[in-house]
């Protein structure tokens, strides 16, 4: 990897979870991406970005319409960068930060330059990182906006009602705005309150509920894996299998085979028991 590796991307609607061995800056010029770093989540928009230190597990799902800068920074390259030590301090821990309009306009302009002149990618990456550093050096390190839940909010965040709605729409795209509307909250307020209540982001919660239902279908039905994937909201069997393996540490095909083996063993054991009982009579 180069000292700075920048790309303009459209983050799709597929749920992705991973970690990598480099620092990463995520900065959008338009659209929305739901992103969580080790359980702490926020929405990446034109007014909100994030810093992901190397090795930190994170998951995300875009809206398929965003335009997003993804800047990868190998930790080993920081000493060679201008303000390398200061930039390294920015990545001491995960951080979500506000993006003022002037920085968003700069990012949009640089994205156009990157798309027109990809050969300038190193210079564009350095300029964007420098602008971000100058913006953040005067900002407080912590921008957490923890949501204290009073009794009224706890009542509005009715998990039973949310679960029922999610289960009814597993085959559909489920967005935070829809869940927030059920609770009469703004999307941002709902996101923060939901994380405070459950310890999970709405995105991770919905994904886990999809996979829990999928596990039941994998082990207790004869439906094909592709059909199960569509029933619980995955676009294809491949993305479903990868998510299933990440969650349960076994592929759905292996889980089904093991389930059938156990069922066969149980049936054989019962048959032997019944035969012995018949002999004794």
Banded model confidence at residue 147, pLDDT cuts 50, 70, 90: very low
Banded model confidence at residue 151, pLDDT cuts 50, 70, 90: low
pLDDT value of position 216 = 94
Query: Do residues 91 and 137 lie in contact, with contact meaning Cβ atoms separated by under 8 Å?
Result: no
Domain boundaries, the chain: 5-136, 146-199, 218-281
pTM: 0.60
pLDDT value of position 33 = 92
Q: Phi and psi dihedrals of 211, rounded to 5?
A: -75, -35
CA distance 120 to 122: 6
CA distance 95 to 99: 12
- Whether 146 has a pLDDT exceeding 90, the answer reads no
Banded model confidence at residue 267, pLDDT cuts 50, 70, 90: low
pLDDT value of position 266 = 55
- Whether 97 has a pLDDT exceeding 80, the answer reads yes
C-beta atoms surrounding 170 within 10 Å: 17
Q: What is the CATH number of domain 218-281?
A: 1.10.10
pLDDT value of position 143 = 47
Sheet of strand 23-30, all strands in order from the earlier edge strand to the far edge: 5-9, 67-73, 23-30, 48-52, 95-98
For 167-184, write each residue's pLDDT tens digit: 999 999 998 889 988 988
- Whether 46 has a pLDDT exceeding 90, the answer reads yes
Alpha helix segments (H runs only) across 26-158: 84-90, 101-116, 121-136, 151-156
- Sequence-distant contacts of 89-93: CB under 8 A, at least 24 apart: 90/51, 90/133, 90/136, 91/23, 91/51, 91/53, 91/54, 92/53, 93/53
Q: What is the CATH number of domain 5-136?
A: 2.60.120.280
Q: Taking residues 94-109, what's their average pLDDT?
A: 91
- Tell me, rounded to whole angstroms, the distance of Cα 68 from its chain centroid: 15
Banded model confidence at residue 192, pLDDT cuts 50, 70, 90: confident
CA distance 108 to 27: 10
Q: Phi and psi dihedrals of 134, rounded to 5?
A: -65, -35
What are the structure tokens assigned to 249, written together? 């540490």
23-27, 181-185, 227-231: segment of lowest average pLDDT:
181-185
Q: Taking residues 85-94, what's their average pLDDT?
A: 82
Banded model confidence at residue 158, pLDDT cuts 50, 70, 90: confident
- Whether 254 has a pLDDT exceeding 90, the answer reads yes
């Amino acid at each position: 990897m180069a000292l700075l590796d920048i790309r303009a991307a459209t983050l799709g609607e597929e749920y992705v979870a991973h970690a990598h061995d480099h620092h990463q800056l995520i900065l959008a010029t338009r659209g929305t991406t739901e992103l969580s770093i080790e359980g702490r989540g926020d929405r990446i928009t034109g007014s909100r970005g994030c810093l992901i230190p190397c090795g930190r597990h994170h998951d995300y799902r875009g809206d398929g319409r965003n335009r997003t800068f993804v800047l990868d920074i190998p930790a080993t390259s920081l000493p060679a960068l201008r303000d390398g030590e200061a930039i390294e301090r920015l990545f001491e821990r995960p951080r979500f930060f506000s993006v003022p309009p002037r920085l968003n306009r700069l990012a949009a302009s640089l994205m156009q330059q990157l798309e027109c002149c990809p050969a300038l990618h190193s210079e564009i990456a350095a300029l964007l990182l420098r602008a971000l550093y100058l913006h953040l050096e005067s900002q407080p390190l912590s921008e957490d906006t923890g949501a204290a839940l009073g009794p009224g909010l706890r009542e509005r965040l009715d998990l039973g009602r949310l679960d029922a709605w999610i289960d009814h729409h597993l085959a559909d795209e489920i967005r935070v705005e829809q869940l927030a509307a059920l609770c009469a909250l703004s999307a941002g307020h709902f996101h923060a309150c939901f994380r405070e209540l459950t310890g999970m982001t709405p995105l991770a919660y919905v994904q886990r509920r999809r996979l829990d239902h999928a596990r039941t279908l994998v082990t207790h039905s004869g439906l094909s894996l592709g059909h199960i994937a569509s029933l619980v909201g995955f676009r294809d069997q491949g993305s479903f299998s990868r998510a299933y393996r990440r969650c349960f540490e076994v592929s759905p095909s292996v889980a089904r085979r093991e389930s059938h083996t156990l069922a066969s063993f149980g049936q054989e054991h019962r048959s032997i028991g019944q035969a012995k009982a018949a002999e004794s009579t």
